[in-house]
Amino acid sequence: MLGRSVELARCEALLDRATGDARGMAGETEFRDGGRSRLVDITGEAGIGKSRLLGEVCAGACRRGMLVLRGRATEYERQMPFQVFTDALAHLDPHLLDGFPETDAVAHLLQRGGALDRFGLHRSTAVLLARLAASSGLLLALDDLHWADSASLELLDHLVRHPLHAPVVLAVTRRDRQSPESLAARLTRGVDTGSVVRLGLRPLSERDCAELAGPGLPLTETTALYAASEGNPFYFLTLLQAHRGGMTPESSAPPGLGTLLLDELRVLAPSRRGIVEAVAVLGEHATPAMVSRVTDRSGTAFTDDVHALTRRDLLRATPQGLLTLRHPVVRTLVHESTPLLRRVEIHRLAAQELARVGASAAERAHHVEQSLTSWDPAAVAVLDEAAARTARTAPKSCAHWLEVALRHLPVTPGHAARRGELTLRRARALAVCGGLRESRDLLQELIVTPHRSPGGPTADQDQVRDQDQVRDQDLRVRAVVLCALVERHLGRSTEAVALLRRELARGPAPAHVVRLGLELGSAVPQDSDTSYAQVRTEVEAALAAARSTGDEVGEAGVLAVAALGEAYEGNMAAAHRLARQAAALVDSLPDNDLTPLCEPLARLGWAEAFLEHYPDAERHAERGLDIARRSGQVYVVPHLLLCLSHIRLQTCRIPSALELADQAEDIARGIGSDQLLAFVLASRAAALVAGCPPGDPRPLAVAEEAVAAAGTGVNWWASTAWCIFGWAALMAGDPLRAREAIFRAGGPELQRIQPSMRPLYLEILVTSALVTGKFEEARGWAERARKEAEQLGLPMQRASALRSAAHLPLAQADTAAAADLFAEAAAESARCGALFWEAHSLLLGAPLEAAAGRGRDGTHAWLKGRRLAEAGGSGMLVGLADVTRPPGGGSEALYDSPGRAQLTERLATLTVRELEIAELVAQGLTSQAIADRLYVSRRTVETHVSRAFRKTGVSSRTALATLMARRRTRSRFGDARAERE
């Protein structure tokens, strides 16, 4: 490895760390660095030696006993989903997957089909890689990533943003100037966070090139070749080979790399040139059998030609038995120099052969596209099927295949209906993979284009014409509804509302009134210019239309949307009534009927969450999430995840809330909606505020990213982002910035802040005003919070108003009055199960109880608040507990009791793994979440939990969590006491 010793040493250090971590996981050594995966980003120009260095890294990993999976992206197959990962996993021993519970989830990467949504596939792939790494470590090497398909890049992005807790090294090579901007940006961010190590390869020195040439070449000739190659090793070696074949740099300027390589091809016999061309065109389908088929050569003659080309180092054989050219640059030159009609014929024969052996439509689509020169119904049917198969896992590829099909579909009245359906499908695929604007353009064109077949004067043709008109209106309405959804995600809710109202004014059929009314009701909370009251009439008309046609599914959907509209506006009596009706219908319907209602289920979950009916909200959101994932409705999934995250924050299950927000972030980034991303990041920031200890910079950083994504928007999502930013700023010790954020969210009169959540956000203004010495301003905001909370009649909002009120006597040293208000706030929070706010209120009031002479009450409140905080995994509240410990009480009173020795004895019986799982149970993680975290099966987790129950004498996860919380508190108390002593 001439000139690459430094880069190779850095790679080997990462391999050493990974193998050390693998031994640590196996219990042979101490586990180091948390076992987080690292990515090595090897960059440089073509021919600089990236693949050569990667080969050395792979060899080093093999010597260390690591599992090595190597794949290469290819230039002319960029629409083949997950191609580079599929190529890497083709090396995998199938027996390594025995017992892996998520084999079906990653089947798409193993070329076994599969229809899981792409974000589920990302998570399952991470679990698979961690499992493969568990015994001896894993090197995943991905070559030529600048040519990778969009699905592969999206999967890599997930692996970079979510480093694996496993001994995994990812090594990628790419050309800087040819890399997609998204890939370069993600890897650069990874460099900044320390998860990516970048190795930029520079040209070799003249001394290195002289050593590469060997001792037989005179110094003057070496210098000339080095100057011509500029230190690029591939170009230098090609010049060297040509020089030894007769070209002398003294006679003329050295030719370019392309000329040299093409000269090498010109001397080939036609049969051998044909084989080289076939290999260049076929790419990853260049098996000897396929090459023989498309060149119409076989037997000894074909074998001799392949051997001769191999000896010339034009062809090489891969471990998978494919034929390949010796370098991607050679493939590019051969491919581009192959006559167009010859390329078309090779692709046509390859498509035929793949069909003959039963290859999937997705595998054949590339060759069908390249061989399609005119309208061919059979070929377009293949593209159509390939699009359907990739819609959920690789929507960009889906959109591409549909675009090719549309390009060749005749623009005639007879094909108009099919063109409309294909265009709608393409728009839907673009809408979930970052192509929102292109999707909107397609939909707007579709909305104004008629799709009827030509009619005639006969009765039969009149009937056909009527049927076509029905289909035309149905297509139009579906396009309008999807266009409104896309407009919402682009932050153009006003346009979405106008579009829907215009369509409703056209007098659509009752079924379409329901569909349009559903979308209109969903769009309003995000439109700053339209309140729910302004569309209530249209939503009620949709409800009446559903009931008049006996459409129970539509009725349930409209009721759910209406419930959210009323709940958002603070009309709680109407919201309660509508939510009860919607829930009764939803609960009576089977999952199949609810498939088109995933977004209304999200609306119902949010409505019930705002009504503080947390168990019902969680049940409906979880059901909707399951249906949405199974049916591939990706755009709905973030809303359901965020609903669940909100519920689990309020009920103090903070790790779960954060995990759900993380999943929603992946999808929002994939969809490409800044508005949705702002809402997602705001939810994640809220979970981080609750989850992180005081002083942690992450909550404010994520909240800043949320408001940056919101931009100048003034809708629900943007308003929520600014409110959470205000909370994060207040917790970071910046009350002025917090105050500014709340006014940015709601305007001078705060009217843009969600009415049903306004008391909670007013608490931020009260606290900020008091911290900055503005007592009268704080009094005014607290009084407004009281009035609005009383009008809402919601326990959690009333608790917030009570905390706001409690700060006022506290500022005037009336600790007894303040303690009473905090205690009342805790009781109100407990009434609706808002455990986070119950604990918050208890911990704020505990030291005041003691100061007021009620020490026992203070100790009891503090202990309960601390227990809730630890069981819920809230670093914020645990930090608050640390600074509000009542004098002479708290953990000392609890853990110096006679039960202390018994507690130690019971926990001492747990194994290291059982303790680890018990800690995760205490953080609120489900068995499946723990299994994903530890890369074990769910059954294994539940077995360990059962053993922990038996050994500690508890009978529930809550009791086990409480036990672990006491263990942590006792440990801290013991450390503190040791320091004092």
The DSSP annotation for 666-684 comes to HHHHHHT-HHHHHHHHHHH
Give the pLDDT confidence score for residue 883 in this predicted structure. Answer: 86
Task: Say which range, 44-48, 255-259, 321-325, has the weakest mean pLDDT.
Answer: 255-259
User: Helices then strands (H, E): number in the chain?
Assistant: 48, 7
Percent of the chain whose pLDDT exceeds 90: 56
Cβ atoms 921, 655 nearer than 8 A? no
Strand partners, 172: 41, 142
C-alpha dihedral sign at 537, 539, 545, 547? negative
Residue identified by tokens 């693949």 is: 51
Which residues, in sequence order, are CB contacts of 87 under 8 Å at separation 6+? 71, 72, 73, 284
Under 8 Å between Cβ of 902 and 953: no
pLDDT recorded at residue 695: 86
Residue with tokens 């089909």, as numbered in its chain? 113
Q: How distant, in Å, are the alpha carbons of 3, 48, 205, 206, 802 from that of 209?
A: 9, 12, 6, 5, 78
Number of CB atoms found within 10 A of residue 32's CB: 13
Q: Report the pLDDT value the prediction gives residue 97, as an integer from 0 to 100.
A: 76
pLDDT category of residue 218 using cuts at 50, 70 and 90 = confident
The pLDDT tens digits for 352-409 are 999 998 888 988 999 999 999 889 999 999 999 999 988 988 999 999 999 999 999 9
Q: Apex CA 870: angle with CA 891 and CA 27, to 5°?
A: 105
The torsion region of residue 714 among left (phi > 0), alpha (psi -120 to 50) and beta comes to: alpha
Across the range 655-673, mean pLDDT stands at 92
pLDDT digit string, tens, across residues 723-773: 999 999 999 999 999 999 999 999 888 988 999 999 999 999 999 999 899
The answer to whether 541 and 514 are in contact (CB under 8 A) is: no
Q: Strand, helix or coil at 252?
A: coil
Does residue 520 register a pLDDT over 80?
Answer: yes
* Between 548 and 812, the higher pLDDT residue: 548
pLDDT in tens, 164-186: 888 999 999 999 889 998 889 88
Structure tokens at 687: 């979970």
Cα torsion 476, 482, 483, 488 to 10°: value is 150
Is a pLDDT exceeding 90 seen at residue 965? no
pLDDT in tens, 599-619: 888 999 999 999 999 999 999
- 543, 559 Cβ separation under 8 angstroms: yes
> What average pLDDT does the segment 290-306 reach?
93
Please state the rounded mean pLDDT for residues 661-673. Answer: 91
Give the tens place of pLDDT for each residue, 58-87.
Answer: 999 999 999 999 999 998 888 888 999 999
Q: What residues are paired with 701 via a beta bridge?
A: none
Residues 527 and 488: beta-carbon distance below 8 Å: no
More reliable by pLDDT, 333 or 965: 333
**What mean pLDDT do residues 688-713 have?**
92
Q: Which residues contact 666 (CB under 8 A, 6 or more apart)?
A: 119, 122, 158, 161
For 471-513, write each residue's pLDDT tens digit: 888 999 999 999 999 998 898 888 999 999 999 999 999 999 9
Q: Classify 336 as helix, strand or coil.
A: helix
| pLDDT for residue 150 | 92
**Residue 461 pLDDT grade (very low, low, confident, very high; cuts 50, 70, 90):** low
Residue 116 has pLDDT above 90, yes or no: no
Band of pLDDT at residue 796, cut at 50, 70 and 90: very high
Q: Which residues pair with 138 in a beta bridge?
A: 67, 168
- Are 721 and 709 in contact, with CB atoms under 8 Å apart? yes
CA distance 673 to 679: 10
Q: How confident is the model at residue 30 (pLDDT cuts 50, 70, 90)?
A: very low
> Would you state the pLDDT for residue 949?
75
Question: Any alpha helices (H) in 100-254, and if so which ranges?
Answer: 118-133, 150-161, 181-193, 206-213, 219-229, 233-244
Tokens of 522: 């969903």
Confidence band, pLDDT 50/70/90 cuts, at residue 961: low
Let me know if 946 is exposed, middle or buried by CB neighbors in 10 A (0-12, 13-18, 19+): exposed
pTM (2 d.p.): 0.81
Q: Which of 26-30, 377-381, 612-616, 853-857 has the lowest mean pLDDT?
A: 26-30
In whole numbers, what is the pLDDT of the chain averaged over residues? 86
* Contact predicate 144/117, CB 8 Å: no
Strands 323-325 and 315-317: antiparallel
φ, ψ for residue 612 (rounded to 5)?
Answer: 65, 30
d(CA 133, CA 661): 27
What pLDDT score does 528 carry?
64
Mean pLDDT of 813-834: 95
d(CA 385, CA 401): 9
The tokens for 303 are: 């074998």
* pLDDT exceeds 60 at position 114: no
Question: Could you give the count of Cα atoms lying within 13 Å of 394 in the half-sphere of its Cβ?
Answer: 27
Is the pLDDT at 31 greater than 60? The verdict is no
Q: How confident is the model at residue 450 (pLDDT cuts 50, 70, 90)?
A: low
Which tens digits make up the pLDDT trace of 141-155?
A: 999 999 999 999 999
Cite the DSSP H helix spans in 214-318: 219-229, 233-244, 257-266, 270-282, 288-295, 299-311
Would you put residue 892 in left (φ > 0), alpha (ψ -120 to 50) or beta? alpha
User: Helix, strand, or coil here: 196?
Assistant: strand
If DSSP codes are grouped into helix, strand and coil, which group holds residue 887?
coil
